[in-house]
């Protein structure tokens, strides 16, 4: 069974068919899903999803594009929800200098604060980092992220030299639909370089659909396209990729 390490089923893109879609995942070979929070609203929505579906777990945290809504109360709510028996990680948290929705100082402040919750609550973290390679790596090193309870650099988009740094810290790379894009040379190099034991599969649904569904709404049903591409790149069987990435995610999340 495939392990989906990163999806946003609370997103309004699923309002029309959320229940039918989620109910169909297991019969299509998707064994486990981690629903990842992005906004303040998605905290409660994620709790509802993990309480409604036995195979859905949750990551609680606020995305760098949404940290304008952050304050000490929200931070304490994240801490409290992280103790929910089905909350497996703090995320997604990090830095996004592509959209630059908030100042770098504000983004860094809340990234550090949420990483501290991950440390104190002994939870893995799920990091979003876009066009912010240097600052993300510096904060990860400053906080000794490698000594924490592990974590994922989600939708990994940097070159091999940066991947090496995170892999040396014992962290995982989250790889999704971008891997199937013909122009994704850099990510294909990273996928070839990284040990399969440090890769987890993800879709980031509803975003980033793989080829042949690029541009359409994504769902975990598209994970086999990503697993196939990764198997081709690494010269491994499809089953090996599915089994090892599933074991990786279960180990990291303690499932």
Binding site for Ni ion (CB under 5 A): 204
Phi first, then psi: give them for residue 150, nearest 5 degrees.
Answer: 85, 175
Return the C-alpha torsion angle 158, 160, 161, 167, nearest 10. Answer: 90
Phi first, then psi: give them for residue 174, nearest 5 degrees.
Answer: -90, 125
Question: Closest residue (Cβ) to Ni ion?
Answer: 204
Q: In the bound complex, what is the minimum distance in angstroms from residue 204's beta carbon to Ni ion?
A: 4
Residue closer to Ni ion (CB basis): 37 or 233: 37
Residue closer to Ni ion (CB basis): 130 or 188: 130
Q: In the bound complex, what is the minimum distance in angstroms from residue 255's beta carbon to Ni ion?
A: 20
Residue closer to Ni ion (CB basis): 66 or 204: 204
Residue closer to Ni ion (CB basis): 42 or 180: 42
Q: In the bound complex, what is the minimum distance in angstroms from residue 26's beta carbon to Ni ion?
A: 22
- Which residue, among 49, 134, 55, 127, has the nearest Cα to 91 in the 3D structure? 127
Contact 243, 251 (CB under 8 A): no
Q: In the bound complex, what is the minimum distance in angstroms from residue 42's beta carbon to Ni ion?
A: 10
Q: In the bound complex, what is the minimum distance in angstroms from residue 149's beta carbon to Ni ion?
A: 20
Residue closer to Ni ion (CB basis): 204 or 229: 204
Residues with Cβ within 8 Å of residue 23, at least 6 apart in sequence: none
Q: In the bound complex, what is the minimum distance in angstroms from residue 6's beta carbon to Ni ion?
A: 6
Partners of 175 in the β-ladder: 201
DSSP 179-237: GGSTT-HHHHHHHHHS-GGGEEE---BTS-PPTTSTTSPP-GGGHHHHHHHHHHHHT--
Residue closer to Ni ion (CB basis): 15 or 27: 15
Partners of 2 in the β-ladder: 30
């Amino acid at each position: 069974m495939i392990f989906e390490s990163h999806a946003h089923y609370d997103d309004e893109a699923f309002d029309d068919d959320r229940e039918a879609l989620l109910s169909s995942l297991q019969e299509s070979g998707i064994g486990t899903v981690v629903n990842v929070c992005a906004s303040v609203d998605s905290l409660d929505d994620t709790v509802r999803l993990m309480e409604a579906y036995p195979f859905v777990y949750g990551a609680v945290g606020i995305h760098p594009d949404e940290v304008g809504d952050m304050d000490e109360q929200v931070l304490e709510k994240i801490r409290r929800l992280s103790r929910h028996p089905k909350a497996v990680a703090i995320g997604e948290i990090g830095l996004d200098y592509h959209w630059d929705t908030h100042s770098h100082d504000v983004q860094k402040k809340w990234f550090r604060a949420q990483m501290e919750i991950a440390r104190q609550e002994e939870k893995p973290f799920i990091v979003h980092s876009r066009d912010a390679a240097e600052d993300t790596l510096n904060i990860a090193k400053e906080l000794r992220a490698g000594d924490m309870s592990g974590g994922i650099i989600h939708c990994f988009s940097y070159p091999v030299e940066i991947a090496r740094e995170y892999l040396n810290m014992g962290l995982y790379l989250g790889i999704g639909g971008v891997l199937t894009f013909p122009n994704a040379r850099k990510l294909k190099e990273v996928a070839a370089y990284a040990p399969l034991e440090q890769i987890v599969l993800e879709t980031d649904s509803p975003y980033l659909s793989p080829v042949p569904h690029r541009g359409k709404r994504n769902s975990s049903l598209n994970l086999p396209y990503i697993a196939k591409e990764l198997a081709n790149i690494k010269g491994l069987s499809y089953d090996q990729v599915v089994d090892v990435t599933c074991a990786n995610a279960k180990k990291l999340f303690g499932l």
